[in-house]
Structure 1
Amino acid sequence: MARLKKTDWIAAGLRMLADTGPESLKAEPMARALGNTKGSFYWHFADVPSFHNALISHWAERVNAPLFDRAEAADTHTAALRSMTQQIAQRDFGDHARAEPAIRAWALSNDQAARAVARVDDERLQAISALLERVGVSNRDIAHAILAAATGMPDDITGDPMGTLVDLVLALR
């Protein structure tokens, strides 16, 4: 039996959260999924609520980094804005993004998840607002609308609706 680190449990928790929701985030099902013992779980976490807190904090601290890194690497501010919003809509910016819909659903009944989602959204709103300012759009409501559209985009949508929305906003300035 391999010795698991705290980060192994959190990574497994994010996968399980994305696949089956927060109900599966208990010591026994997680230990079974990892082929380990509950003792290993309790070595790293005092109890299940402390695991939930660690998982939510871990997600909130890391989910935006790849998103912002890719946008920063874009050639222009317009390309950065399109990249960022498309990645949010497609949840195409790393393992942490895959768990986002489940975290957002969990936030409806879990205060810590709600605070984490609010923090993540605020960071995104700040970044989108800054990019919009750089291309000459200073109305913060536009940033809110773009973030709301990107966050609420269904997984199975076709085409490039976020790119079209960004292009429309830029054409109206």
Structure 2
Amino acid sequence: MTAKKRLSKSDWLQAGFAALVQDGPVALKAEPLARRLNTTKGSFYWHFADVPAYHGALLDVWEAEALSPIARILDEEPNSGAKLRRLGQEITDYASDVTAQENPERAIRAWAQGDESVAGRVEKVDGLRLNLLAELLRDNGITNPDWARVILGSTIGIKSLPANASDADGPMGSLVDLVLALR
């Protein structure tokens, strides 16, 4: 008889992201998650005080992953125009990956439509993204704050359109180039 592997907090969070993407927020409860992992609810409560604490932990991981490329981009790119173009593409790539269990941005956004606490977290992440986009636009001489919203809105939805297989990065790059040409 083989010993059953003890589940970690990370195992529960990965299962939660998969459940959220696959079945929506109704699947983010101890019982359905325990069934998904073929274990007991006791294991869930070993790692999380309750379901709201679990939801908070999921949102913490999502927020960290959604914002993690920003510091790298700011360090790696040589000027604000390149930073703006790359940031737009990174957000687009992250926000549009609907198959990765580790990246449930669309599912989180759908969840936010019916849950104020989730909506608050999405607003926080979007606010940080908007502020950075606006700052990079200002560095390029573009002061209209609506352009930051246009770019962010495009990053969220552009990849849900039918893709041109020859250039998946083209539309976001073209949008940023167009905005930069307005100065």
Structure-2-length-normalised TM-score? 0.82
Alpha-carbon distance in structure 2 between the residues aligned to 1:4 and 1:83: 37
Alpha-carbon distance in structure 2 between the residues aligned to 1:74 and 1:15: 33
Query: What secondary structure does 2:68 align onto?
Result: helix
Contact kept? 1:71, 1:83, Cα under 8 Å: no
**Does 2:75 match 1:72?**
yes
1:50-88 per-residue CA deviation (whole Å, 9 max, x = no partner) reads: 212221233224421124423532233222211111122
**Which residue of 1 is the match for residue 103 of structure 2?**
98
Aligned residues: 173
Aligned residues with identical type, % of pairs:
43
**Which residue of 1 is the match for residue 143 of structure 2?**
138
Distance 1:93 1:80, change over 3 A: farther
* Cα displacement (A) at 1:20: 2.6
**Which residue of 2 is the match for residue 169 of structure 1?**
179
Contact kept? 2:18, 2:102, Cα under 8 Å: no
**Which residue of 1 is the match for residue 117 of structure 2?**
112
**Does 2:40 match 1:37?**
yes
Alpha-carbon distance in structure 2 between the residues aligned to 1:79 and 1:122: 21
Please tell me whether Structure 1 or Structure 2 has the larger radius of gyration of its CA atoms: 2
**AA in 2 matched with 1:15:** A
Of 65-74 and 86-95, the range deviating more from structure 2 = 86-95
* Cα displacement (A) at 1:91: 1.9
Structure 1 stretches of 4+ moved >6 Å: 92-97
* Cα displacement (A) at 1:96: 8.1
* Cα displacement (A) at 1:108: 0.6
Query: What secondary structure does 1:129 align onto?
Result: helix
Alpha-carbon distance in structure 1 between the residues aligned to 2:94 and 2:10: 22
Contact kept? 1:63, 1:96, Cα under 8 Å: no
What runs of 5+ residues in structure 2 fail to find an aligned partner? Answer: none
**Which residue of 1 is the match for residue 163 of structure 2?**
157
**Does 2:54 match 1:51?**
yes
Alpha-carbon distance in structure 2 between the residues aligned to 1:123 and 1:168: 23
**Does 2:141 match 1:123?**
no
Aligned CA RMSD, in angstroms, stands at 2.4
What runs of 5+ residues in structure 1 fail to find an aligned partner? Answer: none
Alpha-carbon distance in structure 2 between the residues aligned to 1:113 and 1:129: 24
* Cα displacement (A) at 1:92: 6.8
